[in-house]
A and B are shown apart, each in its own frame.
Chain A
């Protein structure tokens, strides 16, 4: 009986340990931001508060922040006082307590617009939504990512984890094949990154403009010849939550500069 108990306990401990190990295939002490995979030129550009082209959108966002909009004729600044956005972006995606919906920063901004300002939701990848998102996220620069995955978020998180590990597309690759198993190795002349969300929205040289994390996810999907889901699809939100958890502790770099 005693032996049986010990064996059972050991088996349970092993299962728990294994589950835990499986949970973080990328240990926290090995996390590297996308900027660590850039050449010196682009790292310098990101760090340059003036020359970073993403700051054009941040500045636009700052203006929009205090512009009244919608039927309520209210501005963001009318409710949220200066500095109140510090650290907020680092906690997204997040479950909205009132609606129970999982929201990324874009979704939160649009919910504020539709529910509180009586304004129309801004289109994904529109200059205005990018600008506001970048402006808000920028105020969390340096803050460690810390999305919550407990409570009602858990089921979305698990869905994100499954999406991340699911093979898809004509190349039959999952996110994990590149960004867990092969980061740091070369694909043509490019170094594969760990695929973290902490620099987004980011100015991507390939696009020559600022783009959202969802656009980056779409780019990855097209890269493996998989179907690109429409902007705002719940699958992206699940994945964004999983990615935020996976990058837990990495500092927000928005607006990042990426290849």
Chain B
């Protein structure tokens, strides 16, 4: 599952930074049929979380009501240099994990 992540490479301590992520995923609703009329089983990313130096700063419970190739944008306060960890899992148990680092200056 490919993903694109955008966070600033550098930030000042205490600054509110923008976090953006796009994940490649069909977010299959469970209401569509294939070419021969069979219902396609629901398979959506149902849980997403973002940890910043090990501490969860954002979490989302998602459903078929979120568009295919889900896009999320949220905020967090730059506290210290370190790593962002993005994790998600879909109905079939497939997981995604991406990391991105940030440098925080005084």
Contact B4 A50 (CB under 8 A): yes
> What count of chain A residues pass the 8 Å CB interface test?
9
Complex alpha-carbon distance, A22 and B20, angstroms: 49
State whether the Cβ of B22 lies closer than 8 Å to any Cβ in chain A: yes
A51 sits at the interface (CB 8 A): yes
Chain B: number of interface residues, binned into ranges? 10 to 19
B48 to chain A, nearest CB (A): 16
Instruction: Tell me whether A55 and B69 are in contact (CB under 8 A).
Output: no
Given contacts A208-B67, A208-B69, contact A56 B4 (CB under 8 A): yes
Distance to closest chain B CB from A1 (angstroms)? 71
Asked if B20 contacts A56 (CB within 8 A), the reply is no
Q: Is the CB of A209 within 8 A of B68?
A: yes
Does chain A have a CB within 8 A of B2? yes
Least distance between A134 CB and chain B CB atoms (Å): 13
Beyond A51-B20, A56-B2, A56-B22, 15 additional contacts (C-beta under 8 Å) are: A50-B4, A50-B6, A50-B22, A51-B22, A51-B71, A53-B22, A53-B71, A55-B4, A55-B22, A56-B4, A56-B24, A59-B2, A60-B2, A208-B26, A208-B67
Taking beta carbons and an 8 Å cutoff, which residues of B are in contact with A? 2, 4, 6, 20, 22, 24, 26-27, 67-69, 71
